[in-house]
A and B are shown apart, each in its own frame.
Chain A
Amino acid sequence: MSEQLRVPTMAEYMAEGKQPEVLFWVGCAGSFDDRAKKITKAFVRLLNKANVEFAVLGTEESCTGDPAKRSGNEFLFQMQAVTNIEVMNAYEIKKIVTACPHCFNTIKNEYPGLGGNYEVVHHTQFLKGLLDEGRLTIEGGQYKGKRITFHDPCYLGRANNVYEAPRELIRKLDAELVEMKSCKSRGLCCGAGGAQMFKEPEQGNKDINIERTEQALETKPQIIAAGCPFCNTMMTDGVKGKEKEADVEVMDIAELIANAQDL
């Protein structure tokens, strides 16, 4: 991993008078959360490997406003949205990829009404596209035959009907994809959505991430695959709570593919 990551910014592209093929929207978790930063870097390694001409907004990126909107602060959400849209429209951005389903959902569905019209894809969809086009190849490598279960992020699955892209990537690893009892459109939330990530849960008899982790562990997986930095945190905590961290890893799909490539 000594190779330096190539992470050009939109400003740099602009200075050269060029336009990247896609904007990588990193998101707050991907920028600041220690665990999520690893996912960001794994995805960048894949983009570099496939020679994708991408750029990030860097310091010009700001929260999409998703947690504010889900908390009920429509005003703050729209301020964030309009500011981001102004930046992205100034750069004439057409296509966006992001590793965060919350950013994905908000930019794809809620920005058009405020003047931001872009083609938005989740990183699992983008990676699948690279594989289909032959720009990236994977062999099973270290994940061949491993039992992997996929936790559907609500804002990717139910919210936007993306169920297959992440699963196809897991199958391409030659891994054994096992489904939890609640999966796809009936997938159980990890407990982080709707701004729950940022607060203590209300009183109940169990934490939602524990319930979901139990469902995942029922499949006897070696890896719990996630496609969302918040789900990743919740499931990682859940696995620790069940004292299974020695047997079960929680990994983002981008990390699985990057590792399979020894990137």
Chain B
Amino acid sequence: MDYIPNILFAIVLIAGIGYFASNVKKLIRNIKLGKAKDINDNKSERWKNVIMIALGQSKMVKRPVSGFLHVIVYVGFVIINIEMLEIIIDGLFGTHRILSGLGGFYGVLIGSFEILATLVFVAVVVFWIRRNIIKIKRFMSAEMKGWPKSDGNIILYFEMVLMALFLIMNATDVSFQNAGLGNVVSQYIAPLFSDFSESTLHIIERAAWWLHIIGILIFLNYLYFSKHLHILLAFPNTYYGKINPKGQFDNDDAVTKEVMLMMDPDADPFAAPEAGAEDEAPAKFGASDVQDLSWINLLNAYTCTECGRCTSECPANLTGKKLSPRKIMMDTRDRLEEVGKNIDANKGVFVDDGKQLLNDYITKEELWACTSCNACTEACPVSIDPLNIIMEMRRYLVMEESAAPMELNNMMTNIENNGAPWPYNQMDRLNWKDEN
């Protein structure tokens, strides 16, 4: 009978990690629905970006207040998780604070966990106040109503509860308090429980311990359903983030082939296509749905934690237009998840549901409001590129549907006919030289 807690613990642990693993598989499958894009270049620069931007939070701290608070939560989260090692060993083998054998060093470890837990708790409370009391503008946009708003708060509640449980667990651990090693914060919480008998304290301590580990497993599994995935995906996302100059937009290779053929004076216009050439032609120019985007666009969508720094810098959004780069990312993820569920429900194949990313999620009005100024990509703390999605969708609108706004069609006709966006003759290009 003594082994029941150990077995129970093992079951909870395996179930928690197992369910998460199955969702991660789904996540990877969904991301792979995007078009292939080979990224094998500039490995050292990419690793540098991971170290500076993701690990080093270099872009987070561009906004000092939220950046500083975020660094606390981030460092706290990473370091306090070392405690998980002890919790898992204790849980599986029925030991109690197995690492306390480390003596003074254990005190230093737990002491720093306690301090960090307290700081994280405070930072998270400030985050909650920023969202719910101060109502900072970027958390109040149209796309932040309903689930995204709740999601943001649920994450904060999780963190508050987990940190509180950790401190209560330590405060009610009589032998730990008596040893006086590392109870730097919990010693001040312990007096709150001084009226309780030792056996009650033990029950509270056990309850806090179990709730803490179960809470962590629930939180782990919550990630897949939440914007909070960024804690994992920020790392690959910064690795695969754009390293070319921001102004450089990809040239579409399929178009290049066509153009080169047209420009080649030796090309035989009546030549039969080479065997297999038909298959190479893209089904579609640009993107109207998530499967037309690259897998990096889709990884971006899962990485977005909806902080809204992009939107708060977007000139279109600042002047009241519908475009919000954050919404572009949220829509892409929502549609991708819808497609993923469709695949799950139809035994692994996508069955046309009459919907797509364009129009059903992202409207033309949003797409045409973009000035391609790169304020959004500059602002993103984890190298997400909403602009690339906007441009891919514009390509679809123009090259597949000829659905550009009329003035842009005029501009493009002018370029085609006389090599300038305005109706001036190319032969007049040097007239300025002699004008006064």
Q: CB within 8 Å of B: which residues of A?
A: 5, 7, 9, 26, 28, 30-33, 37, 40-41, 56, 58-59, 61-63, 65, 67-76, 78-80, 82-83, 86, 105, 108-110, 113-114, 154-155, 158-161, 185-186, 188-189, 191-208, 210-212
Residues of B within 8 A of A160 (CB): 245-247
**A163 smallest CB distance to B (angstroms):** 12
Q: Does B68 contact A (CB under 8 A)?
A: no
User: Considering the chains assembled together, what is the distance between the CA atoms of A110 and B246 in angstroms?
Assistant: 11
**A107 smallest CB distance to B (angstroms):** 11
Q: Across the interface, do A194 and B370 meet the contact criterion of CB distance under 8 Å?
A: yes
User: Considering the chains assembled together, what is the distance between the CA atoms of A67 and B249 in angstroms?
Assistant: 12
The residue that A74 contacts in the complex, of B319, B369, B399, B427, with Cβ under 8 A, is B399
User: Considering the chains assembled together, what is the distance between the CA atoms of A62 and B258 in angstroms?
Assistant: 20
Q: Across the interface, do A9 and B399 meet the contact criterion of CB distance under 8 Å?
A: no
What 8 pairs between A and B have smallest CB-CB spacing? A159-B247, A72-B394, A194-B372, A205-B320, A62-B419, A204-B320, A109-B248, A189-B373
Binds A, one of B212-220, B297-305, B401-409: B401-409
Closest to B255 in A: A74
B residues 322-346 touching A (CB-CB < 8 Å): 322-323
User: Considering the chains assembled together, what is the distance between the CA atoms of A210 and B256 in angstroms?
Assistant: 39
Q: Across the interface, do A37 and B319 meet the contact criterion of CB distance under 8 Å?
A: no
The residue that A189 contacts in the complex, of B315, B365, B395, B427, with Cβ under 8 A, is B315
User: Considering the chains assembled together, what is the distance between the CA atoms of A160 and B246 in angstroms?
Assistant: 7
* Interface residues on chain B, number (Cβ under 8 Å): 68
Q: Across the interface, do B252 and A74 meet the contact criterion of CB distance under 8 Å?
A: yes
Q: Does B285 contact A (CB under 8 A)?
A: yes
User: Considering the chains assembled together, what is the distance between the CA atoms of A158 and B310 in angstroms?
Assistant: 14
Q: Does B396 contact A (CB under 8 A)?
A: yes
Residues of A within 8 A of B315 (CB): 188-189, 191, 208, 211-212
**Extra 17 A-B pairs, beta carbons < 8 Å, given A83-B263, A158-B378, A202-B365:** A28-B422, A32-B428, A33-B422, A62-B426, A68-B411, A72-B394, A74-B395, A76-B415, A113-B251, A114-B256, A159-B245, A194-B371, A198-B408, A199-B408, A202-B368, A208-B318, A208-B371
Closest to A205 in B: B320
Residues of A within 8 A of B260 (CB): 82
Q: Does B421 contact A (CB under 8 A)?
A: yes
Given A71-B408, A160-B245, A189-B375, the answer on whether A204 and B256 have CB atoms closer than 8 Å is no
A-B contact pairs, 23 of them (CB 8 A): A30-B432, A37-B432, A37-B435, A40-B432, A61-B419, A63-B421, A72-B393, A73-B404, A78-B259, A79-B416, A82-B263, A83-B263, A86-B263, A154-B373, A186-B375, A186-B378, A194-B370, A194-B372, A195-B408, A196-B371, A199-B411, A200-B405, A200-B407
Q: Across the interface, do B319 and A195 meet the contact criterion of CB distance under 8 Å?
A: no
Closest to B402 in A: A73
Q: Across the interface, do A31 and B429 meet the contact criterion of CB distance under 8 Å?
A: yes
Residues of B within 8 A of A80 (CB): 415, 419
The residue that A73 contacts in the complex, of B412, B431, B432, with Cβ under 8 A, is B412
Q: CB within 8 Å of A: which residues of B?
A: 244-249, 251-252, 255-256, 258-260, 262-263, 285-286, 313, 315-316, 318-323, 365, 368-375, 378-379, 391, 393-399, 404-405, 407-408, 410-412, 415-416, 419-422, 424, 426-433, 435
**B26 smallest CB distance to A (angstroms):** 32
Residues of A within 8 A of B396 (CB): 72
User: Considering the chains assembled together, what is the distance between the CA atoms of A191 and B285 in angstroms?
Assistant: 27
Residues of A within 8 A of B429 (CB): 26, 31-32, 58-59, 61
Closest to B419 in A: A62
Q: Across the interface, do B249 and A32 meet the contact criterion of CB distance under 8 Å?
A: no
Residues of A within 8 A of B427 (CB): 59
From DSSP, what is the main secondary structure of chain B's interface residues?
Answer: helix
Residues of B within 8 A of A188 (CB): 315, 318, 375
Q: Across the interface, do A72 and B286 meet the contact criterion of CB distance under 8 Å?
A: yes
Closest to B408 in A: A71
Closest to B414 in A: A63
Q: Across the interface, do B373 and A205 meet the contact criterion of CB distance under 8 Å?
A: no
Closest to B372 in A: A194
Q: Across the interface, do B373 and A158 meet the contact criterion of CB distance under 8 Å?
A: yes
Residues of B within 8 A of A161 (CB): 245
Q: Across the interface, do B394 and A198 meet the contact criterion of CB distance under 8 Å?
A: no
**B384 smallest CB distance to A (angstroms):** 15
Q: Across the interface, do A199 and B251 meet the contact criterion of CB distance under 8 Å?
A: no
Q: Across the interface, do A110 and B421 meet the contact criterion of CB distance under 8 Å?
A: no
The residue that A7 contacts in the complex, of B285, B408, B430, with Cβ under 8 A, is B430
User: Considering the chains assembled together, what is the distance between the CA atoms of A61 and B428 in angstroms?
Assistant: 11
User: Considering the chains assembled together, what is the distance between the CA atoms of A81 and B435 in angstroms?
Assistant: 29
The residue that B319 contacts in the complex, of A61, A155, A186, A207, with Cβ under 8 A, is A207
Residues of B within 8 A of A69 (CB): 249
Residues of A within 8 A of B422 (CB): 28, 32-33
The residue that B391 contacts in the complex, of A70, A109, A197, with Cβ under 8 A, is A70
Q: Across the interface, do A75 and B255 meet the contact criterion of CB distance under 8 Å?
A: yes
Given A189-B373, A202-B321, A205-B320, the answer on whether A41 and B378 have CB atoms closer than 8 Å is no
Residues of B within 8 A of A59 (CB): 426-427, 429-430
